[in-house]
A and B are shown apart, each in its own frame.
Chain A
Amino acid sequence: MAGTRTETEPLRIAGRELHSRLLLGTGGFRSLDLLAESIRASGSELATVALRRVELPSTVGQPGGGAAAGNGGVAAPGAAAGGSRGALIDVLDAEGVEVLPNTAGCFTARDAVITAKLAREAFETDWIKLEVIGDEDTLLPDAPELLKAAERLVDDGFVVLPYTTDDPVLARRLVDVGCAAVMPLGAPIGSGMGIRNPYNIALIRESVQVPVVLDAGIGTASDAALAMELGCDAVMVASAVSRAQDPVAMAAAMRAAVQAGHLAHGAGRIPRKTYATPSTPVVGMPDFS
């Protein structure tokens, strides 16, 4: 069946071809084994990671414990912590997914830009999922800071994928400063509320020429399918999979939903009408009177 319309076109972001239209967040998985299995079930080729402080060996923080410094011989306490975190990268490498670092937790353009530069050093990638958060309770993006950070990072050669609101005007501004894609939210991060403003998501799809990746808010497979039916080019999920009762099964469900929604969007749905239209011809009906 190669070449038929039941095969989905690859997604292209900044010249890179992705055959899966599902991006996976690595946050919230109970174990790295579960993460690995979920990656396989999702078929995803791109997974987000955060940057956080290396855990220090317990002696290092104490005055007089500085013997650890410089000689490289004292590693044990920190090696375990650092090692388990480092293992995340090993898992992603082993599963063949590319790392998409994020700036999660940054509240200012300045912090996000520094974090992005550190991520570029750490992961040897110019790609950054840019998050600049404005509010701790909703984790909604801070639009002015986001735009400022996006502009600086694009100027510095980054491929910027900003986590943004469902505002079509802001999405256009982000593209105007050179973002390679936009990632509008369906609902607040981790809320599982689905797509609260589907009309805005459709408007964003119409108003920009770069890929639109629905990010945040997805609760279950039908939300992901809806995003694709609205014309989104891809969907990003994290909590919806990692915090599901069976993450691996939900990863498989998301994969199927994204494919189904993408196909349905391409197929062109019938218009909505209030009254019925018979699917069986009326002509040729027998008369039983």
Chain B
Amino acid sequence: MIVLNGQQREHHAGEAVAALVDSLGLPAQARGVAVAIDGEVVPRTDWETYAIPDGARVEVLTAMQGG
């Protein structure tokens, strides 16, 4: 299991950040999307190779009106 944006979510070993982002219906090169795992930024260039560890707290963020 991982915690994705505050919600428990099933997770299979070795799932890459890119696959997770894709599963959320966000285009692979989605501008305006950023990912943090356990409080650390995952650079876009690492999305394909970064395997999400079990138990990770994952935040997938995007642009919202504000400020």
Q: Give chain A's interface residues, CB within 8 Å of chain B.
A: 25-29, 35, 48-54, 56-57, 60-61, 63-66, 68-72, 74-79, 82-83, 85-86, 88-89, 99-102, 104, 114, 117-119, 121-124, 129, 131, 238
- A66 and B10 within 8 A (CB): yes
**Are A63 and B8 in contact, with the CB atoms below 8 A?**
yes
The CA-CA distance from A37 to B4 in the complex, in Å, is 35
The listed residue (A28, A35, A51) touching B63 by CB distance below 8 A is A51
Q: Are A72 and B22 in contact (CB under 8 A)?
A: yes
* B-side interface residues, number (CB < 8 Å): 38
Contact B67 A52 (CB under 8 A): no
Question: Given contacts A52-B62, A52-B66, A86-B26, could you give 10 more A-B pairs where the C-beta distance is less than 8 Å?
Answer: A25-B67, A56-B4, A60-B24, A65-B10, A66-B11, A68-B23, A69-B9, A74-B23, A86-B30, A118-B35
Residues in B with CB closer than 8 Å to A53 are 5-6, 59-62
- Contact A50:B32 (CB < 8 A) given known A69-B12, A71-B23, A72-B19: no
Q: Which residues of A contact B41 (CB under 8 A)?
A: 114, 117-118, 121
Closest 7 CB pairs of A and B: A50-B66, A66-B10, A75-B25, A79-B25, A48-B67, A122-B34, A72-B22
Cβ B33 vs Cβ A122 within 8 A: yes
- The smallest C-beta distance from B34 to any residue of chain A, in angstroms, reads 4
Q: Which of A88, A104, A121, A238 contacts B34 (CB 8 A)?
A: A121
B65 in contact with A50 (CB, 8 Å): yes
Q: How far is the CB of A56 from chain B (nearest CB, A)?
A: 6
Which chain A residue has the least Cβ–Cβ distance from B47?
Answer: A121
Whether B9 and A60, one on each chain, are in contact in the complex, defined by CB atoms closer than 8 angstroms, is: yes
| Chain A: minimal CB distance from B32 (Å) | 4
* A49→B33 CA distance, assembly (Å): 12
**Interface positions of B from 32 to 53, Cβ below 8 Å from A:** 32-36, 39-41, 43-44
Q: In the complex, what's the smallest C-beta–C-beta distance from B58 to chain A, in angstroms?
A: 10
Residues in chain A near residue B19, CB distance under 8 A:
69-72
Interface residues of B (CB under 8 A from A): 4-12, 15, 19-20, 22-26, 30-36, 39-41, 43-44, 59-67
Q: Is the CB of A114 within 8 A of B26?
A: no
Residues of B within 8 A of A83 (CB): 25
Residues on B with beta carbons closer than 8 Å to the beta carbon of A29: 65
20 CB < 8 A contacts A-B: A26-B65, A26-B67, A27-B67, A50-B63, A56-B4, A56-B7, A66-B12, A69-B20, A75-B24, A79-B26, A82-B25, A82-B26, A82-B62, A86-B30, A88-B64, A89-B32, A118-B59, A119-B34, A121-B43, A122-B32
Q: Is the CB of B20 within 8 A of A54?
A: no
Q: Which residues of A contact B40 (CB under 8 A)?
A: 114
Cβ B24 vs Cβ A51 within 8 A: no
Which A residues are in CB contact (< 8 Å) with B22? 72
A102 touching B61 in the complex, CB below 8 Å, given contacts A54-B33, A63-B8: no
A119 and B24 CA atoms in complex are apart in Å by 19
> Contact: A61 with B67, CB < 8 Å?
no
